[in-house]
Amino acid sequence: MKEKLIEFKNVSFAYEADGEAVPETKDALKGVNLDIYKGEFLAVLGHNGSGKSTLAKLCNAIYEPTEGTVSVKGIIPDTEEKADEVRRIVGMVFQNPDNQIVATIVEDDVAFGPENLGIEPKEIRKRVDEALKSVNMYELRHREPHKLSGGQKQRVAIAGVIAMQTDCIVLDEPTAMLDPKGRDEVMQTIQRLNKELGITIVLITHFMDEAVQADRVAVMNSGRIVMQGSPREVFAQNEKLNECGLDLPQSTELCKRLGIKDTVLNASECVEKIISMLGGAV
Amino acid sequence: MSYVIEAKGLSHCYSKGTNQQVYAVKDIDFSVEKGELIGIIGHTGSGKSTLISHFNGLLKPSSGQILVNGTDIWKDKETLHNSRFQVGLCFQYPEYQLFEETVFRDIAFGPKNMKLSENEIKERVLRAADYAGVKKEHLDKSPFDLSGGEKRRAAIAGVMAMEPEVIIFDEPAAGLDPKGRKDLIKLIRDYRERTGSAIIIVSHSMEDMASLADRIYVMNGGEIAMQGTVDEVYSQGEKLRSMGLNVPEITEIFASLRAKGIDVPANVYTVEQGTEILKKLMGRCSS
Amino acid sequence: MIGEITFGQYYPGSSVLHRADPRIKLITSFWLIVVIFVCKNFFSLGIIALTAIITSLVSRVPMKMILKSLKPIVIILIFTAILNIFYTQGGATYWEWWKIKVTEKGVNTAIFTMIRIISLVVISSILTYTTTPTALTDGLERVLSPLKVFKIKVHTLAMMMTLALRFIPTLIREIERIMNAQKARGADLETGGILQRAKALVPIFIPLMVSSFRRAYELALAMTCRCYTGGEGRTRMKQMKVSFRDIVLILYCTAATAGIIILNIFFEAVI
C-alpha cells in the first residue's frame, strides 16, 4: 500500500470578507477529498478560479480549512508550531518568480530556508551546493537574482525548497509567467527531482502538456475535484474536460477526432496510431 | 503609401559610444499595411519588445527611421505625441496599468489625453468597452474589484478607446488559462473585423499565431531572422527550433508523417485542418 | 537597460580589502573617520591623507572610480572653502580689498577642511567599492548585534535592508514599465508646471503602490513557507571569520592613529 503524505478529508474553504485587505482572490473549495502519496507526481488541473490555487495553499498551512481537515504525515496544523512543522515537510514554489526570492545573491537565497531551520553552517553550505547542482544553477550561484531569466529564477526558488529537504514540493503555476524555454527548464527540473530524488511533486497548472508528464491528474472545477486518474484515463474524457474550461493536447485531440479509440498523450504515439490506421496502405 | 507603420534600417543600441555597446535591435526593415495582422515571434530577449517600443516613439532609434502613415514620428514634438494615438500599444499584463477610481474613467484616460470633447470621450469609452467585452455594469466599479480576466479586458479597452489605426498586443494571453486564451483571441479577431484596424501581435505562442496572422516576422538576436506568410515561416521547423521556438505539435505530427513517406501537406497548423486532411486520406485508403 | 544595473557601487575585485571581513572593514572605516577629526595640524592630517591614498592603492579600485565618488561633493567642497577663507580670520593678512580680508588662518582652515572631507569620502567609498551591499548589510547586522541588549531589533533592520536591496532593481523596472504603459496612452509626463507634473504622476504612483503591496504580500507568504519566523534560532551559511589580513588591517589603523596622536602632541595645532 502506498504511503499517504497529504490527506484532504472533506475539506471546504470559504473566503470570508472580513474587511482584511488581501491583494489576491481566494477561491472557495467544497468538500474536497484527496490523498497525495509519497513519491508521486500529481498534477492538479483547472481553469483560473477553479480553486486549484487554494488547494495548494492548504497543503502547507497557509490557509486553514473552514471545514474538514488537511493532514500532512498525520499532523493537523492547528497551531503555529504544527504549521511550522508542516512547512518543513511541504515546500512551496509560487507563480511569480520575482516575489519569492529574498536575497540579493543566488546562493544566499537558497540558504535562506535552511538558515531559518537553524541548521549548522557547514551543512547548509553542502545542501545549498547540492540543491543548486540539482537544478543546474550551480554555475550561476554568485549572480544577482534580478539579472536572471524567469526560468532561472524559478529554478532558484525550487533549489531554495530542495535545500530545506522537504518531502514534498507544491508548485503553484510555476510556469505561467515563463516563456517556452523557461517552461521546459522548469518542467525538466521537476521531472528530475521526482524521478531521481524521489521528491513528491504537486504541480498546479492549466497547461495540459505539463499534466501529461504526471503520474496522476486531478481536475478541479468550481471548488470540487471532478476527475482523478492517470493522464490517459483523464484525457479520455474530452467533453468533461471542455466543460472544465480545459483543452486536450493537440495530438490527443487529433486522434479523438479521427475516431481512434485509445487515448494518446504525445506526438510520437499519435504518429504511430495514424500510421497503423492507414495500415501502411499509402 | 499604404503602410501604417514602416521601419527603415532601424537600429537601437545601449551604452552607445562605449566599448560595451550592445545592439538590442539592428537594421530592421519592417512594415504593416492598413488592416493587416502581423505576428512577431521570437524568444525572450530577441529584441521584440525593443522593436515595438519604437513604433509609438517610446524609444528613439539610434539610427534609421520610423514612419507612421508616411511621416517620420521624430520629425517634431507634435508628430511624436500624435503617434501615441495612431499606434496603440498594449503591454504584457496590461492590467497592472489600471489606476482610476472607476473602469469608465480608466478607459477614458487615453481619449482625455487626446483632448477630445466630453461627448466624444463618452462615446469612445462605450464603444471600446463593447469591443473589449467589458460589461456595462462594470464601468462604474473600481477596476481593482474586477477579476483578473476582467481587469485585462478593461485595460485593453483603454488602448482601444484611442481608436488607433494599429494596435500592438504584447503577449496578450500571458497567464490566461486555455479558455481565457481562446476568448482573448476571439476578441482580437472580432475587433479587427469590426474596425478594420491593423494589428500586431507579439508572442512566443506559435499555435495562436498560425490561425491569426497574415504575415509573420521572426526575431532572433535583435535581427529579423525570417519573414513571410505562415506557410513560408512554419515550414522551416528546423530553423525555428534552432532559435528556441517550437512549431505547433500538430505541424510536427504532420512533418513526422511526411518523413515516414505518407503523402500529407506540410502546412497544417490546426487540429481542424489536420483532421480533415487525414479523414480524406483514410476515405481514399478504404475505398 | 536600466534593469541591468548593479545596485550600490561595488567594484568587483579580489584585493586584500575585497577579501577582508566586512565587520572589520566597517569598524576600521568608522575608526578612521573618527580619527580624521582628531587631526589638529597638517602633519597629522598628512598621515590621514597618506592612509587614504595607500588604502585606495591597495584596494586596486581604479583612481578614476575613486575620483568619481568625489564628483557629487565638489560643490560642497568649494562652498566650505569659500566660507572658511572669508569667515575665519587671524594671523597674517595675505590679501585685502574693501571689507574682505584673506588671512593665514582662513586659508589654513579652508585647506584643512577640504582635505578632511576628501579623506572622509575616499575612505567611505573604498568601503563600499570593496564590499557588496549584501556583505555590508550582513556585517552591519553582526557588528550591531550587541545592541540587542537595548531591545533594538538589529536582525529586522538588516532584513529590511536586504529586502530593499533585493527589490530596488525590480521596482525600478516596474516603474519603467508603468511609465511606458501610461505614455502609450498619451500621458504627458514632461511638460507643464509643478502642479501639473505632480498630477501626471498619479497614473504611475497608484499602479506602483498596488503592485508593491501585492509583491509584499506574496513575499511575506513565500517567507512564511520557508519557515521564516524572525531572527530567533536562525543560523547563517556564511560565517565571518577574522583572519590574518584583518589583523593586519587593524594594526595598520592602529599605526596610523598612533602617528596622528604623536604628531598632534609634537606640533602646534593649526585648527
The CATH number covering residue A110 comes to 3.40.50.300
Distance from CA of B270 to the nearest CA of C (A): 33
Pairing of strands A29-37, A4-13: antiparallel
Phi then psi for residue A40, to 5 deg, are: -90, 165
Enclosing domain of residue A279? 249-282
Let me know: does B220 contact B231? Beta carbons within 8 Å. no
Write out chain B residues lying below 8 Å of A48, CB-based: 148-149, 176-177, 180
Are residues A167 and A277 both part of a single domain? no
- Banded pLDDT at C7 (limits 50, 70, 90): very low
Write out chain B residues lying below 8 Å of A47, CB-based: 177-180
Of B53, B81, B159, the CB nearest to C185: B159
B81 touches chain C (CB under 8 A): yes
Q: What is the mean pLDDT of residues A41-66?
A: 92
Share of chain A above pLDDT 90, in %: 66
* Residue C233 placed within a domain: no
Number of Cβ atoms within 10 Å of the Cβ of A109: 24
Let me know: does B43 contact A180? Beta carbons within 8 Å. yes
Of A88, A116, A161, the CB nearest to C228: A116
* Residue ranges of chain A whose CB lies within 8 Å of a chain B CB: 25, 47-49, 149-150, 176-177, 179-182, 206, 208-209, 245-247, 249-251, 253-254, 257-258, 267-268, 270-271, 274-275, 277-279, 281-282
Helix (H) or strand (E) holding B217: strand B215-220
Enclosing domain of residue C141? 6-146+240-266
Are residues C193 and C70 both part of a single domain? no
Are residues C181 and C79 both part of a single domain? no
- Banded pLDDT at C189 (limits 50, 70, 90): confident
pLDDT value for B17:
61
Write out chain A residues lying below 8 Å of C166, CB-based: 101-104, 145-146
Q: Return the CATH number of the domain spanning residue range B3-245.
A: 3.40.50.300
Q: CA–CA separation, B248 vs B263, rounded Å?
A: 19
Say yes or no for a CB contact (<8 Å) between C229 and A116.
yes
Q: What ipTM score was computed for the predicted complex, to two decimals?
A: 0.89
- Banded pLDDT at B117 (limits 50, 70, 90): very high
Are residues C134 and C172 both part of a single domain? no
AA identity, residue B175: G
Q: Kindly report, residue by residue over B139-182, the tens digit of the pLDDT.
A: 999 999 898 889 999 999 999 999 999 999 999 998 888 888 88
Could you please report the per-residue DSSP string of A10-76? EEEE----SS---SSPPPPEEEEEEEEETT-EEEEE--TTSSHHHHHHHHTTSS--SEEEEEETTB-
Are residues C142 and C245 both part of a single domain? yes
The helix/strand/coil state of B62 is: coil
Q: What is the mean pLDDT of residues C259-268?
A: 86
B55 touches chain C (CB under 8 A): no
Let me know: does A153 contact B44? Beta carbons within 8 Å. no
Cα–Cα nearest to B102, from B136, B133, B129, B138: B138
Are residues A266 and A178 both part of a single domain? no
Are residues A36 and A151 both part of a single domain? yes
When scoring C175, C182, C185 by the number of chain B Cβ atoms within 10 A, the one with the most, hence best to mutate, is C185
Are residues A219 and A258 both part of a single domain? no
Instruction: Count up the domains in chain C and report the number.
Output: 2
Write out chain A residues lying below 8 Å of B145, CB-based: none
Write out chain A residues lying below 8 Å of B40, CB-based: none
* Residue C129 placed within a domain: yes
Q: CA–CA separation, B143 vs B97, rounded Å?
A: 10
Are residues C24 and C139 both part of a single domain? yes
Say yes or no for a CB contact (<8 Å) between B99 and C177.
no
C195 touches chain A (CB under 8 A): no
Q: CA–CA separation, C235 vs C163, rounded Å?
A: 18
**Cα-based distances in Å from C8 to A259, C73, C123, C165:** 63, 18, 16, 9
Q: Kindly report, residue by residue over A183-225, the tens digit of the pLDDT.
A: 999 999 999 999 999 999 999 999 998 999 999 999 999 899 9
Say yes or no for a CB contact (<8 Å) between C3 and A146.
yes
* Residue A242 placed within a domain: no
Are residues A254 and A228 both part of a single domain? no
Cell of B197: 484596424
Are residues A232 and A282 both part of a single domain? no
Are residues C26 and C125 both part of a single domain? yes
